[in-house]
Chain A
Amino acid sequence: MANENFPLIFERSKEGRSSYNLPALDVPEVKLEEELDDIYIRKTDAELPEVDELELMRHYNGLSERNFGVQTGFYPLGSCTMKYNPVINEDVIRLPGFSHIHPYQDTKTVQGALELMFDLQVHLEEITGMHEITLQPAAGSQGEWTAIMMIKAFHEANGDYHRDEIIVPDSAHGTNPASAAVAGFKTVEVKSNEKGLVDVEDLKRLVNENTAALMLTNPNTLGLFETEILEMSEIVHSVGGKMYYDGANLNAIMGYTRPGDMGFDAVHLNLHKTFTGPHGGGGPGSGPIGVSEELAPYLPKPVVRKNDGVYELDYDRPQSIGMVKGYYGNFGINVRAYTYIRTMGAEGLKKVSEYAVLNANYMMRSLEKEYELPFTQHCKHEFVLSGSKQKKLGVRTMDIAKRLLDLKFHPPTVYFPLIVEEALMIEPTETESKETLDTFIDAMLQIADEAKTNPEIVQEAPHNTAVNRLDEAGAARKPILRYQKEG
């Protein structure tokens, strides 16, 4: 593979080959050309590849070999919670009773699916301490937007049309301000203090009668617990605003505390993070939201109900914000999350958080001598280092990331959160062993050493990947977004 391009499936194509095998036409043939207006009949066939089945399998297997997954190696990508994806989940979702059911079947014929959804909701209510859950949003960001739309509906129902501001910390995920904007709000940024926590004095100054909500991650994106959370809740509530919890970091606190106990009115979860839905190279995910009793009337339709032991879909919700996702959400991901929760139970989930936090602190303390650690208190499930020391030697954080590729690791999240210079955000997760953590620590220390003694080897990394560093600027300047047959 050294200097050759890996072919596109189109380039493996040869006229006359095929790998399809469709049922035969067993009904009398109708001349479609006579029935359809000629203008609606396609004149040139879509140029899809023509390959035989073996060639197709070789192609995709070849591609998979050029991809890094959690079962390939350590994937300490901060904020993404790349924990092990249990294989039982994959078996369960493939049961025909889960994978081959139609959303519009009569509810009497899908009682098992509705039971699972209902049960998952009950479990998530308990884990978050919220009054009611909907499984409808397809991803965390859709969950954020859904919850903000509900908060909007709540304020409007009270005649508070003037509440048009959402407060977001400067360390927040980019989705928070984006979701607020798509819901029609402007965002106001609250600063972090020297400890990496929300500056409560700044928050006091920012809240007013236009405050619709504060969006907060806790632990925050620096991996730190917001210790003044109750004060913050009180400040926001005192002006009539709502508290919104971004659940991306829930993996750190299960069984120790709950958003509902901290005064949050709405919360979204990323089932694919905390509850082991595989990330699929960028989805599908699932982003259920939980809300307080006060916000429950605004939940999207339909809601799963249980009446006399029978499960139903309730569409009769006059105050609902409407539907936010086709059908009932990403059911397939929800089945996986349910399977995981049933595997772990209360004791197991608490251990998950315990070990996620232990692993993160162990790594943080093992690396703080060689890498700048901007916030020194104990962290939760992730922590942020700065590559500022290495930058002075001419080695950037991106170089460190690329050098890790040579050492067979997926790099941490880089350049986020935005408030830390040359940020390296590391999240080991609870499913990694001490041996794995130690090898990664050694690799990081080796790179720190190389930055001092042999910076070129870091600056020019990676040295042994399928492709070298790619020209991203060129890709953006002259975009090639699809295959074009030559000649």
Chain B
Amino acid sequence: MEFRYLPMTETDKKEMLDKIGVSSTEELFSDIPKEVRLDKELNLKKPVSEYELKKELTEMASKNANLTEYRSFLGAGVYDHFIPSVVDHVISRQEFYTAYTPYQPEISQGELQAIFEFQSMVSELTGMPVVNSSLYDGATAVVESVNLSVEHTKKKKVLISAAVHPEYRQLVETAANGKKLEIVEIHYKNGLTDLDQLEKELDEDTAAVLVQYPNFFGQIEPLEKINELIKQQKKTMFIVSSNPLSLGFLTPPGEFGADIVVGDTQVFGIPAQFGGPHCGYFATTKKLMRKVPGRLVGETTDKDGKRGYVLTLQTREQHIRREKATSNITSNQALNAVASSVAMSSLGKHGVKEMAKLNMQKARYTKQKLEEANLPAVFNGSFFNEFVIKLSKPVSDVNDDLFEKGFIGGFDLGKAYPELENHMLIATTEIRTKEEIDAFVKEMGDING
């Protein structure tokens, strides 16, 4: 077998061994004690040629029903949006994708500036002045926001709306076991966070209140009222997890007094890819700037006065604070942050708004058509691009039938909310055509009987 990534020839090897003063490479491994030496070849599949491997992987990929072939109405935190061609062309440039963290700013200005622009764009959308260079995903960003609130307020109780993405809540639960936090779930009422319960649970021991906007059911939470309740406590922080595309049309959480806004920029230029990698964002106030997890890029000048960018405020980070660190975040999702930046630049000021509105228009059309087919939405508040309907049979059965007809149906809410058995969460994005929606509704009507 030839290994095309290994350039060493036998002559090279001999010259190098001579320089080192050993007779074989084996001698360089002599420090590994015999007792722990692997005395057999690893039992892995035999390597194959490039052609064969591509064929094998193409076959494997073709066993998956993909979103370019099926018409999808599935959202629930990951969305099938239009991705401009420019995005992949930019992130396929090796200077971006094969680079490391920009620790040497003089030769990393491209990466640093692209991230600075990402921070600026997310800042515009969320209405928050400080944005980090990204986190692993929206779920991790939520966990980090909860950790920050606990660290900042020195309190251990956190109130989380049940209308926050169920997986995000599960991640917070996992992390809470490390920090011994008290997590209190606030139920939902008619698809929105129950404000009565929130008011009752909210007390001076509360570090933060976390809601999602639009929430997991697609409904638009009353951030103004929630903020009023929170402000009755002196220290309690207001955390909002938010789909940044919706903020092209909706009032940003920053204008409702949020202390931290987090979420995922997958909606901008990042394919679903089975749930990752996506790109978490973390936005906050100037007051909390020095507590932000992950990396921040800042503007500065060189000794000739020329503008440039560097990683900044690194004293917060784990490689300096070590055991005193409050976050262990290292790598972020820089390349995906660049992808989102390109998508946001391409859409620009008017495109982001237009795309948000298209989502809202098409989702409303879907909702109305389903209503006409006797499948009314169960929550009736304002919504973004998702809504909930009730079926007469299990969602999985309906989805099986839809799949036969070339559709990927909505999310089975019963999996995360036992009381919502037979309820489906439906997402309609800008790429679903009227024709597709009409066909989907017809099938839904037929299947549901």
- Besides A32-B249, A344-B3, 16 new A-B residue pairs in contact (Cβ under 8 A), listed by A number: A19-B86, A42-B247, A42-B250, A46-B352, A60-B93, A66-B108, A77-B100, A88-B54, A98-B61, A112-B63, A175-B319, A257-B32, A331-B274, A345-B44, A351-B6, A466-B109
- Chain A interface residue number, banded: 35 or more
Spot the interface stretch: A206-214, A352-360, A388-396, A443-451: A352-360
A85 and B88 alpha carbons, distance in the complex (Å): 17
- B190 CB within 8 Å of chain A: no
Q: Is the CB of B248 within 8 A of A46?
A: yes
A17 and B174 alpha carbons, distance in the complex (Å): 47
Q: Is the CB of A178 within 8 A of B96?
A: no
Find the A residue at minimum CB distance from B84. A20
Closest 5 CB pairs of A and B: A327-B275, A97-B61, A280-B335, A112-B63, A103-B275
Q: Which of A62, A229, A351 is the one whose CB lies under 8 Å from B3?
A: A351
- B365 CB within 8 Å of chain A: yes
Q: Give the chain A neighbours of B400 by CB distance below 8 A.
A: 106
Find the B residue at minimum CB distance from A179. B328
Q: How far is the CB of A249 from chain B (nearest CB, A)?
A: 13
- A190 CB within 8 Å of chain B: no
A70 and B95 alpha carbons, distance in the complex (Å): 8
A362 and B434 alpha carbons, distance in the complex (Å): 65
Q: Is the CB of A8 within 8 A of B63?
A: no
Q: Which of B58, B168, B224, B437 is the one whose CB lies under 8 Å from A95?
A: B58
- Chain A 6-42, CB-CB to B under 8 Å as 1, else 0, gives 1011100100011111110111111010011101111
- B426 CB within 8 Å of chain A: no
Q: Is the CB of B44 within 8 A of A98?
A: no
A129 and B16 alpha carbons, distance in the complex (Å): 31
Q: Which of B325, B360, B365, B437 is the one whose CB lies under 8 Å from A177?
A: B325
- A348 CB within 8 Å of chain B: yes
Q: Is the CB of B328 within 8 A of A145?
A: yes
A126 and B41 alpha carbons, distance in the complex (Å): 10
- Chain B 178-212, CB-CB to A under 8 Å as 1, else 0, gives 11100000000000000000000000000000000
- A71 CB within 8 Å of chain B: yes
- B308 CB within 8 Å of chain A: yes
Q: Is the CB of A365 within 8 A of B20?
A: yes
- Chain B 84-114, CB-CB to A under 8 Å as 1, else 0, gives 1010111011111111111111111111011
Q: Give the chain A neighbours of B304 by CB distance below 8 A.
A: 3, 468
A272 and B97 alpha carbons, distance in the complex (Å): 11
Q: How far is the CB of A336 from chain B (nearest CB, A)?
A: 11
A250 and B345 alpha carbons, distance in the complex (Å): 39
Q: Is the CB of A325 within 8 A of B64?
A: no
- B295 CB within 8 Å of chain A: yes
Q: Is the CB of B430 within 8 A of A22?
A: yes
Q: Is the CB of A50 within 8 A of B65?
A: no
Q: Is the CB of B64 within 8 A of A475?
A: no
A410 and B21 alpha carbons, distance in the complex (Å): 28
Q: Which of A19, A88, A144 is the one whose CB lies under 8 Å from B346?
A: A19
Spot the interface stretch: B67-75, B232-240, B370-378, B386-394: B67-75
Q: Give the chain B neighbours of A138 by CB distance below 8 A.
A: 136-137, 140, 276-277
A282 and B434 alpha carbons, distance in the complex (Å): 41
